[in-house]
Amino acid sequence: AMRQLLAGRKVTVTAGGTIERIDPVRYITNDSSGKMGIAVARAAHAMGAEVRLIAGSIQVPLPEGIDTVQVQSAQDMYEAVLGEWNHTDIMVQTAAVADYRPKTVHATKMKKKDDDLVLELEKTVDILESLGQRKQHQFLIGFAAETNNVDEYAMDKVKRKNCDLLVANDVTKAGAGFGTDTNKVQIYDAGGLVEDLPLMSKDEVAFQLLQIAAGRLNGVSAS
Ligand code: PMT
């Protein structure tokens, strides 16, 4: 049996992509399948935590036995996350949140015209950054999908978003990132690289990550 390292802890996990509507039949989304976030939710559950999963757009079945809320947009996800925040001990933001959304959401289906169409986008809220600003007792874990300069961008994000840990995956690497059952990650804190994990299942990545978090939360070094 897995050690109950998270017994008595409340873990909130976001998973999947967000859906930003253009009109009633069209939207903008991304390739996140939800697998990484579901793996974290399941691992936390196996480690004894009380888990709340906030799922955006996902391509796999929702995990059984885990308390789940489904959301669409970045704004919806933000509101759902804030509702859990005060009683969360560990927040894990694996979701691929849209950085931009259509400035106007059309109430009826947009009609095709002769001219090209320019879609105007506006920034969404940065959920992780906002949580970093309100952090009190919470242990905050962010993810970062990168295609280049992984080290530099990960270090920038861990500091700017005030995360306790940041999990970087180079999504151009085989077996890593969006849609796969495996991942290859580096884990950082504000001081630098904490762990450089080899290619492994997302379930195993989740367990390794939560072991580090549990160790730090319980005041013991787990790695
Ligand atoms: O779902 P899978 O198919 O298993 O794929 C897993 C994954 C590749 C989506 C996952 O491992 C991953 O990398 N998730 C983060 C994706 C992402 O949006 O990275 P980012 O570098 O753009 O964002 C950095 C962090 O800020 C993330 O924790 C993100 O959730 C958060 N963010 C970003 C934008 C925004 N508006 N609000 C946020 O909270």
Domain segments of the chain: what residues?
10-102+122-217
Strand partners, 183: 200
Catalytic residue ranges? 30
Q: Which atom of ligand 1 is nearest to the CA of 145?
A: 13
Q: How confident is the model at residue 220 (pLDDT cuts 50, 70, 90)?
A: low
pLDDT in tens, 62-104: 999 999 999 999 999 999 999 999 999 999 999 999 999 999 9
Q: Residue 222's pLDDT is what? A: 46
pLDDT in tens, 25-54: 999 999 999 999 999 999 999 999 999 999
Per CATH, the number for 10-102+122-217 is 3.40.50.10300
Q: What is the mean pLDDT of the chain?
A: 96
The helices-and-strands tally (H runs, E runs) of the chain is 5, 14
Give the percent of the chain with pLDDT over 90: 96
pLDDT in tens, 6-32: 999 999 999 999 999 999 999 999 999
Tokens 């306790």 — which residue?
164
Q: Which atom of ligand 1 is nearest to the CA of 146?
A: 21
Of the candidates 182, 180, 177, 125, the one whose C-alpha atom is nearest the C-alpha of residue 150 is 177
Name the closest-CA residue to atom 24, ligand 1: 144
**H or E element in which residue 82 lies:** helix 74-85
The answer, yes or no, to whether residue 105 has pLDDT greater than 90, is: yes
* C-alpha of residue 120 to centroid of ligand 1, in Å: 23
Terminal CA-CA length for the chain: 20
The answer, yes or no, to whether residue 115 has pLDDT greater than 50, is: yes
Which residues contact ligand 1 via a Cβ below 6 A?
16, 32-36, 74, 93-97, 99, 124, 126-128, 142-145, 157, 169, 171, 177-179
Q: Say whether 161 counts as a known binding-site residue.
A: yes
Q: Say whether 178 counts as a known binding-site residue.
A: no
Q: Which atom of ligand 1 is nearest to the CA of 179?
A: 3
Q: Residue 219's pLDDT is what? A: 83
Q: Say whether 103 counts as a known binding-site residue.
A: no
Q: How confident is the model at residue 223 (pLDDT cuts 50, 70, 90)?
A: very low
**pTM of the entire structure?**
0.96
Ligand 1 pocket, mutate which of 12, 20, 32 (most atoms under 8 A from CB)? 32
Q: How confident is the model at residue 218 (pLDDT cuts 50, 70, 90)?
A: confident
Q: Residue 81's pLDDT is what? A: 98
Q: Say whether 143 counts as a known binding-site residue.
A: yes
* C-alpha of residue 223 to centroid of ligand 1, in Å: 24
